């Protein structure tokens, strides 16, 4: 429908009598541009399939196998270790979570944190699911085109996307770190503002008790 609407708008711009057969000419024009539109789309599709897909498929296979070999237990230990300090909590922890568990299961690692840090960890981890697709597309394969859309444009200019990918990845890490810290502060403020200081103090005690019991 949209296609036809676009064409209808363009039609008056076509000078009358340019084609020989009046009514037939209109249909000729419509026919040419109708199929032309889909030929163009088809070329785009072939470009994506031959350009991106082959590498993506073997890379995905390799990374899925690797995560199976490494195993969830080892990852869990690394994550528990990184949950202790504020610097690693919003850098190493979300990165491991996203790389190993992928979107959306990565957020389940929030369970290793006290309640007051969970929103900040979520914010940090979810903000990494697009920068991560530059080198590790398997981690969020359903949402590749935030990165690939832009990268595709750069490729078409004949430039390498690697420098851009590297910077996106590194700036991504810096941004999730800042986001974690800021959200942690705002969460603390919200706890105070809504009069839940006592509730969260209880949660902290529960968390400490559970941790002590778990060891």
Partner 1 sequence: MSEMETHTSRAVFVKPGPGGWGRGLLLRTDGTRTKVLSVTGGGIHPVAARIAELAGAEAVDGFTTTVPDDQVVAAVINCGGTARIGVYPRKGIPTVDVYPGAPGGPLAQFITEDLFVSAVGVDQVAPSTTDDAPVEEGAAAQRPAVPPREERPSSREVAATVAGGGKFGQTFNSVTGVFVKFGSGVGSFVNTMLAAGRQTVDLTLKTILPFMAYVSLLLGIVTYTGVAEWMGRVLSPIASNPIGLVAISFVVALPFLSPILGPGAAIAQVIGTLMGSQIAIGALPVQYALPTLFAINGQVGCDFVPVGLALGEAKPETVAVGTPAVLVSRMVTAPLAVVIAWAASFGL
Within 33-62, the residues that bind partner 1 by CB under 8 A are: 33, 36-38, 40-45, 48-49, 53, 56-57, 60-62
**Binders in 74-93 for partner 1, by CB under 8 A:** none
What are 155's two structure tokens? 């490729």
What are 195's two structure tokens? 């009069």
Instruction: Supply the minimum distance, in Å, between the C-beta of residue 25 and partner 1.
Output: 20
93 class by beta-carbon count within 10 Å (0-12 exposed, 13-18 middle, 19+ buried) = buried
17 versus 78: smaller Cβ distance to partner 1 = 78
Instruction: Supply the minimum distance, in Å, between the C-beta of residue 7 and partner 1.
Output: 8
Give the one residue of 6, 70, 162, 209 binding partner 1; rule: CB under 8 A.
Answer: 6
24 versus 178: smaller Cβ distance to partner 1 = 178
Q: CA 136, CA 120: separation in Å to the nearest integer?
A: 23
Query: Is residue 12 within the footprint of partner 1 (CB under 8 A)?
Result: no
Stretch that binds partner 1, among 19-27, 76-84, 86-94, 137-145 (CB under 8 A): 137-145
Q: CA 206, CA 215: separation in Å to the nearest integer?
A: 14
Query: Is residue 159 within the footprint of partner 1 (CB under 8 A)?
Result: yes
Q: What share of the chain is helix, strand, coil (3-state, %, to 5)?
A: 85, 0, 15
Neighbouring residues of 119: CB distance < 8 A, sequence distance ≥ 6: 183, 184, 187
**Binders in 165-204 for partner 1, by CB under 8 A:** 167-168, 170-171, 174-175, 178-179, 182-183, 186-187, 189-191, 194, 196, 199-200, 203
Query: Is residue 140 within the footprint of partner 1 (CB under 8 A)?
Result: yes
Are 211 and 203 a contacting pair, CB within 8 Å?
no
**φ, ψ for residue 196 (rounded to 5)?**
-110, 20
């Amino acid at each position: 429908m949209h296609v036809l609407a676009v064409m209808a708008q363009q039609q008056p711009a076509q000078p009358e009598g340019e084609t020989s057969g009046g009514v037939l000419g209109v249909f000729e024009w419509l026919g040419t541009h109708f199929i032309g539109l889909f030929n163009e789309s088809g070329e785009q599709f072939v470009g994506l399939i031959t350009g991106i897909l082959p590498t993506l498929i073997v890379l995905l296979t390799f990374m899925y196998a690797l995560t199976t070999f490494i195993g969830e237990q080892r990852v869990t230990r690394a994550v528990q270790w990184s949950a202790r300090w504020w610097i690693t909590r919003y850098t190493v922890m979300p990165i491991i979570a996203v790389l190993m568990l992928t979107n959306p299961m990565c957020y389940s690692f929030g369970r290793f944190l006290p309640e007051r840090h969970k929103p900040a960890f979520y914010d940090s981890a979810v903000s990494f699911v697009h920068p991560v697709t530059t080198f590790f597309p398997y981690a969020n394969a359903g949402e590749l085109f935030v990165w690939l859309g832009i990268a595709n444009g750069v490729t078409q200019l004949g430039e390498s996307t690697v420098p851009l990918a590297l910077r996106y990845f590194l700036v991504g890490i810096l941004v999730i770190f800042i986001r974690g810290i800021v959200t942690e502060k705002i969460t603390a403020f919200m706890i105070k503002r809504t009069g839940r200081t006592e509730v969260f103090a209880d949660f902290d005690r529960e968390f400490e008790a559970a941790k002590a019991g778990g060891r």
